[in-house]
Structure 1
C-alpha cells in the first residue's frame, strides 16, 4: 500500500499550455519548411510534422549541448525531413518540474524530460536509483540504472501513460566545504546544504545539520559563514564560484542527477512505427553521449576546483582534493545507505518501494530490506541487511573515484 498521494493534478494545465505557447512551443502538430538538403524526391515529400518537446534544466550542458541539438538539428536529418521539433527547457517555460509527469499524462506536454528528484515528491519510487550514498561513482550508477530501468519504464507506463525513451545523467553531486573534510565522519557538527530528503537523512546520521537553501543563494550563505558545506555538482559548483569560498572538495558522489525522457502514450502512438524506431535509435545514441558527458564534467569539476592540468570548462581554483575514496568512507557510505537512507525512504514511500528495491536493486547492492517488524520491534524494523557481509566484519571494496572508468 502506498503512503503517498497521486492526485490527478488537472489544475493549471490550461495556463501552462498558454505559457508554453508564449515561450514559442506549439503544442499541436505543425508544418515546417524542410531544409533543401533533407528533402526527399517530389513524389516522396511530406510536410514535416513538428513535435513539441519540453527539455531539462536551462543553461546546463545536458540541455544546451545535447537535448537542444538533437531535437533541432539531428532529428530532421535522421528522419529525412519528416520530423522537426521545437524544444524549450521546462524551467524557462512556466512549468514546475514537480508537475511534468502530470502534464505529460494529460497530454499538455506530449514529449518531455522529467527530473526524477522533483517527480519523486509525488512518486517516491522514482527516487530509488538516485538515493544518497547509493552510487559513489559513475560505473555504479550505470549498474543501478540498468537494474532498475525495467521497473522505471513499467511504473511510468502504468501510472502516467508515459513511454520512457531515455535516461539521462547529470554530473556527480559532491561535498564542498569551508574547512578540512578528508573523511565523512568529519562532517559532524557542520551545517550542510542539501537538495533532497535522502541527502538530509544521510547528513543527519553523520551528525551534521541539513540545510535547505535555494540554488542561487547558498554560495553567499557559505561565504557569510552561515553554511559550512554544500552538496552540488562538481562543475556547477565551480561555475557558481564555490571554489572561491570553500577550501575542500570530497571525491565521493553523494548523489547524481537523473532524468528520464518520455512521451505521452497517445502522442507516441500517433507516430508511424518507422519514425518511432528512428527516434528510439537516435535517443539511444543521445543517452550514450549524455552519460559520457556526465563523467567528463564530473572529472572536469574536480580538476578545475583543485587547479589541476586538464581543466576545460571551469575556472582554476586551489581547493584540496584527494582523488580516491578511502576504505573508511566506503564502509560508512554502505552503512548509511543500509541503516539510514533506505529505511527512511521506505517509511516515506511504503511497501511498494520495499518490494521494488528487493526485486531490482538488492541483488546488485547486496543490501536487502527485511519485511516490516511487529509494532513492538519498530525501533529496528527498518534497518536493511548487508547481504553476506556482517556489519562487524564488513570489508570495503578497493578505493574508487567519481570519474568514469
Structure 2
C-alpha cells in the first residue's frame, strides 16, 4: 500500500507536469500580455536609433495596448558577435533579432543570395530582389534556426572609402580593402584588390595605420563613424546594400494569439516600408555630409568623392558575372544556384553557375 501511495503521487506529479506543458504550448488568448526579448544591430547606426529600438521599446506596446511589450538592446551593448545572435534566437535566449547575412552565412551560403556584391545599383531593384528571394530565406531560417523570417530591409548602400584617391575600379588593383562578407571579398579580388575581413570598430585605426587602403561600409555609417577624418576619398560605386533581416523564434511566434500575430505582422510590414523609404534618402544625405554639404545632421566631412564612369559600371558588371556569381554558385551548390536563377536571376536577368574545373 505504501508503494501504491508513492506511485500515485509520482503519477499525479507527472500528470500535473504534462498539463502544465500542454498549457504552455497553447496560444495566448487575446488580451494576454506577451513580452518579446529582442536584439538589435549597432547602437551607433541610424537603423537602430530611429527604427529598431523605438519599434520594440515603445511603439509595439502602444499600438497593441500593452498586449505585446518589447524589450530590445543592440548587440554592441550586449557584447555579442554577429554569428552568435541567431544561434541564441534558436535556443530561445532571444525571441527576435535584427541582423545581416554575415550573421547567418556560416550556417549556409544560401543566406548571401539576396545581397550578392555589385549586382544591384538601384534601391528599387534591390527591393524587387529582396521580395523575390524572401520565400527562399523564409525556408532557410525555419530549417537552420527554428525562426520565422518577418522582414528584409536595407542599410544605406555600401561604397568604398579610401586613404588615397580611387577614381575607378582599375585603381583598386593591389589595394587592401576591408570587407565584412565573403561576396564583397569576391568583388575586391575580381577587381585585383586584397580583401581583409574586419569588424567596423577596428576600421578607423586600421585606416590610419595603413593596414587598409580602403574600407567598404555604408554611406551613413561612413559619416556617423567619422571616416572622413581618416579617409579623405570616396568612390561611390555601390558594391552591396547591407540587406538585413528581422526574424523571430518560431516557438515564441506560435505562443502568440491570432490577433497578436496579425498585429505584429502588420506593424513589421509598416516598419519595413519605412526603412526602405528612409534608406533611399539617407544615401543622398550621407554623401552630401561626407563631401562639401549641405549637411542637415552635423559637420561637413569635406571628402573628395569620385563617381563611377560608364567604364566602371561595365567593369562592375563583368566582375559580377565572371567572379561574384560563379564563386557564390560554387559555395552554395547547384540546387541553391538553380533556385536563385528562378527567383533573383529573373529580376536581374543574370544566371549563377559555378565554373567547371
TM-score band w.r.t. shorter chain: 0.7 to 0.9
1:196-245 CA-partner distances (Å, limit 9, x unpaired): 22111211121112223342232223223342211112121122222123
Following the alignment from structure 1 to structure 2, what is the Cα–Cα distance between the partners of residues 139 and 222? 32
Counterpart check, 1:290 vs 2:275: yes
Counterpart check, 1:169 vs 2:135: no
1:185 aligned residue (141, 146, 170): 170
Counterpart check, 1:313 vs 2:297: yes
Does the 8 Å contact 1:48/1:84 carry over to 2? yes
Matches within 5 A, 1:7-22: none
Q: Describe the SS at the equivalent of 1:179.
A: coil
1:21 equivalent in structure 2: none
Distance 1:223 1:351, change over 3 A: same
Following the alignment from structure 1 to structure 2, what is the Cα–Cα distance between the partners of residues 179 and 76? 49
Distance 1:371 1:186, change over 3 A: closer
Q: Describe the SS at the equivalent of 1:334.
A: helix
Distance 1:277 1:304, change over 3 A: same
Distance 1:220 1:107, change over 3 A: closer
1:341 equivalent in structure 2: 324
1:244 aligned residue (224, 229, 235): 229
Counterpart check, 1:328 vs 2:311: yes
Q: CA deviation at 1:371?
A: 6.9
Following the alignment from structure 1 to structure 2, what is the Cα–Cα distance between the partners of residues 290 and 187? 31
1:361 aligned residue (339, 344, 348): 344
Distance 1:314 1:126, change over 3 A: farther
Distance 1:68 1:221, change over 3 A: closer
- What are structure 2's unaligned runs of at least 5 residues? 1-23
Does the 8 Å contact 1:234/1:302 carry over to 2? yes
1:62 equivalent in structure 2: 47
Tell me the matched-pair count: 330
Instruction: Determine which structure has more spread, i.e. the larger CA radius of gyration.
Output: 2
State the TM-score, normalized to the length of structure 2: 0.85
Q: Describe the SS at the equivalent of 1:225.
A: coil
Q: CA deviation at 1:55?
A: 2.1
Q: CA deviation at 1:322?
A: 4.5
State the TM-score, normalized to the length of structure 1: 0.76
Distance 1:56 1:178, change over 3 A: closer
1:114 equivalent in structure 2: 99
2:131 equivalent in structure 1: 146
Q: Describe the SS at the equivalent of 1:217.
A: helix
2:240 equivalent in structure 1: 255
Does the 8 Å contact 1:238/1:314 carry over to 2? no
1:270 equivalent in structure 2: 255
Q: CA deviation at 1:370?
A: 4.0
